[in-house]
Amino acid sequence: MESLEAGDPQQVGPYSLIGRLGTSSAGEVFAGCSADGRAVAVTVVRPEVAAAPGFRERFRAGVGAARAVSGDFIMPVVDADPDAPSPWSATAFVRGMPLRRAVERYGQLPEPALQRLAVGLAGAMTRIHAAGLIHGDVGPDAVLLTVDRPYIYALGTTGITEAAGSPMDDMFDLGATVLFAASGSEPMWEGASEDARTRIAELETVTSVLPSSLREVIGGCLYPDPSTRPTAEQLIDYLDRQGLAAPTGNWLPSGLSADIETLAAAMPSSAVASGTVGGGVSRRNLILGLAGGGLLMGGVAATAVFSSNGSSPAPAGRPGGSTPSTRPTSPSGVSPKPSSTDGPALITLDAPDATKAWTSDGRSAPEYLGASDKVVMLVTEKVTAFLSASTGKKALPSLNTTSMFVSDSMTVPTTYAAGVFYYLGDAPDTYNLLAAVDGTTGKVKWATSMARAGSDGGADSSTYFAQYVAVNGNTVYVCGRVSTRSSSNSDTTTGYIRAFDSATGKGLWKVEGTDINNVLVPPSGSYLLAASSTPKGGAGRVQMIDAGKQGARGWKIPVPKARYFFQAGWPMTCYAAGLFVFAGGSGDTLFAVDAATGAVKWHQRFHAKSGDQVQLGNPFASLDGTTVYVPVGSDLVSLSSADGRSKWVARLTGASDIGTQNMFNASIRVTGNSARCSADTVFVTDTAKNLWAIDAATGKARWKYNDPGQPDAGFKWTVGGDHVFIASNLTLTAISAHGQ
């Protein structure tokens, strides 16, 4: 809880305000107490919101609706004044922990707790629907766990409204909430399914994490056809027949219960009244406890009552849904305060021009680059050359191999690992050659043709494109797309993954399919991530490919509004410390899922500046996997891979999220090389053809390098050791990461 700021009210109605809980879409949220010491969370509506036509009428109706609902599992509105100069509402303060935070901290709930959670939510929905109302925002952020029972918010945090959605939408969200508690992830479907059978088949996999006592009925809540979902009363009847009791004391795991009791003890009513804080509890945990009473009043649901059209955006996953609910952090576009210990540091990028370490002019312009800390590989249309990373002089004999791709062909055909360069190119007599070259001697260790024999036994008629090369342990992967013409002269395009032994070049296994469009090969582990988009603008999906089982498909997750993210060949996702990270939601949310199970570990929603559309680019990870970076419009945001919390935000000077100088647009250029990392430096390009070197620890820029001669398709550059190498026409330039 923050201290009150200058200009904040000291009193709202009968409540004395003692601190700030947060800022909502409708106003400011404060912790308050009545004269008798009763704790509440008070939302004071901003003047411009209150002045909107029809607002006070909608607010008054919303308050009346919320007050008409009560029950053992509902956290009520206790007071409000729609006619005050600044309208306000007060919600009962309950000491507990949001379900999302509980699962993130302690993991999935065990079967008895899941059963009692389902009973409690069903009981709340029965009361709400019996009153002719719709909740509109059942979810992990709207459910509060206490030592006695679960609670769900009423007005302000959940948007109970008579105007939006249907009771069956609430039932879908109830099912998704129980599923989240059981798995740590939420279904990410959005919109009506074009193929209900596919959705139902996916349900069998998604709901397999539920205990058998709940699998059938909670799965029913998630059915694509709302008319087939159980009503709240039917759910109660089913649970009663199963003999599942309503939650009462000691219903949660002991560690979680103890933490909740600690939070409750930290804020007794007398302490709230006096403004004192109990010892031994961190400030962050204290805020979490207070958040249970009202911090979420500013979420999506509050808009249901406060928005000018009176409608509520439905949560992601059900028909008509929007983005998934988010964690309380939102690092970009909300102007975080650099001085705040709770928010990310905001850094405006400004740096001197880079000092070149050396330049070297060649006879042919490089199409692609690869580098180690000692050697730079240049693949041109005529030859493959190797230069010294420290001097730019010739280091190894050139090879009579050439680029088979132009630099804007959505292909990244070079990589370096463990002393060996790997690249995909052409030789005089061989098409689509994968070769391994010793980085010390320049000798070819092995080479193998990727080309397949034609169906008639003759030359391969397939067209390969959108390819990239990657190494994981002892395996080299080539991933991409291939178009093959059949005997009827019709073209079939599929994605593919081919695995080769890194020591010998021997083919190990391969998989193909229309569901493989964009493949991520992490530097370690046995799981790959394949992403694809679907026709007609439908949801894309990500799925695990198990390399340990020779490319067997594993878990899969639908991703609504995947858009361009999964339409290119090189990976537009990333891997960090056992997690796959990708964009989803409405294109404004970053998800991190467990590579082995697909369970969502965290997700972070971003908000654009000045009402612009969110422009979320390709995420990438630090070499050690502890940090994830993502371009968001004109910002670069640094996030902890452990929990998704932001560390710093680096912002281009005076740039707009949708302007010409933009990191997002640079990150989706067809070269796929907009950002890279060295041990302590983040390198990122923008669309003004600047390359920035940013201190990974602080977010401050060390230097920038501008090259107007770079192609519009994106920079030609790479990183080797602590140097950056940039190709511009016939010239190769080297710059130290530290600018020396």
pTM score > 0.75 for this model?
Answer: no
pLDDT at 579: 96
Report the distance separating Cα 343 and Cα 465, nearest Å. 43
Pick from 241, 262, 280: which residue ends a domain? 241
Structural domain total, the chain? 3
pLDDT at 386: 94
Q: State in Å, rounded, how far the first CA of the chain is from the last one.
A: 45
Report the distance separating Cα 219 and Cα 112, nearest Å. 18
Beta bridge partners of 132: none
In the DSSP assignment, the letter for residue 243 is T
**Residues 653, 578: one domain?**
yes
Cβ-based burial of 679 (10 A; exposed 0-12, middle 13-18, buried ≥19): exposed
Helix (H, G, I), strand (E, B) or coil at 15: strand
**Residues 641, 530: one domain?**
yes
**Residues 587, 705: one domain?**
yes
pLDDT at 270: 35
Give the residue from 205, 172, 161 showing the smallest Cα distance to 320. 172
**Residues 472, 549: one domain?**
yes
Residue 75 within any structural domain of the chain: no
**Residues 22, 153: one domain?**
no
Residue 592 within any structural domain of the chain: yes
Report the distance separating Cα 715 and Cα 728, nearest Å. 9
Report the distance separating Cα 634 and Cα 644, nearest Å. 20
**Residues 264, 290: one domain?**
yes
Residue 42 within any structural domain of the chain: yes
Residue 557 within any structural domain of the chain: yes
In the DSSP assignment, the letter for residue 740 is -
For the sheet with 463-472, list strands across it: 463-472, 475-485, 491-501, 507-513
CA distances from 334 to 7, 25, 298, 586, 609 (A): 21, 12, 14, 18, 7
Residue 338 within any structural domain of the chain: no
Pick from 316, 345, 371: which residue ends a domain? 316
Report the distance separating Cα 166 and Cα 361, nearest Å. 68
Give the residue from 580, 587, 574, 662 showing the smallest Cα distance to 620. 574
pLDDT at 544: 93
Report the distance separating Cα 387 and Cα 390, nearest Å. 9
In the DSSP assignment, the letter for residue 548 is G
Parent domain of 28: 11-69+83-95+252-316
In the DSSP assignment, the letter for residue 697 is T
The string of DSSP codes covering 314-329 is: BPTTSTTB-SPP--S-
**Residues 90, 114: one domain?**
no
CA distances from 294 to 50, 89, 90 (A): 20, 10, 9
**Residues 91, 113: one domain?**
no
pLDDT at 206: 76
Looking up residue 627, the CATH number of its domain turns out to be 2.130.10.10
Residue 576 within any structural domain of the chain: yes
In contact, 221 and 56? CB cutoff 8 Å: no
pLDDT at 581: 93
Report the distance separating Cα 64 and Cα 49, nearest Å. 19
Report the distance separating Cα 467 and Cα 224, nearest Å. 36
In the DSSP assignment, the letter for residue 361 is E
Give the residue from 519, 517, 501 showing the smallest Cα distance to 509. 501
pLDDT at 515: 78
**Residues 232, 267: one domain?**
no
CA distances from 8 to 55, 108, 410 (A): 23, 40, 53
Report the distance separating Cα 396 and Cα 733, nearest Å. 18
**Residues 283, 367: one domain?**
no
CA distances from 28 to 21, 277, 326, 430 (A): 8, 22, 19, 67
**Residues 65, 150: one domain?**
no
**Residues 519, 414: one domain?**
yes
pLDDT at 264: 63
Residue 628 within any structural domain of the chain: yes
Cβ-based burial of 365 (10 A; exposed 0-12, middle 13-18, buried ≥19): middle
Helix (H, G, I), strand (E, B) or coil at 721: coil
Report the distance separating Cα 166 and Cα 174, nearest Å. 13
Low-confidence ranges of the chain (pLDDT < 50): 156-163, 190-198, 268-342, 406-409, 453-457, 535-538, 565, 611, 656-660, 670
Residue 325 within any structural domain of the chain: no
Task: For residue 105, give the H/E element and its range.
Answer: helix 99-106
Pick from 209, 241, 273: which residue ends a domain? 241
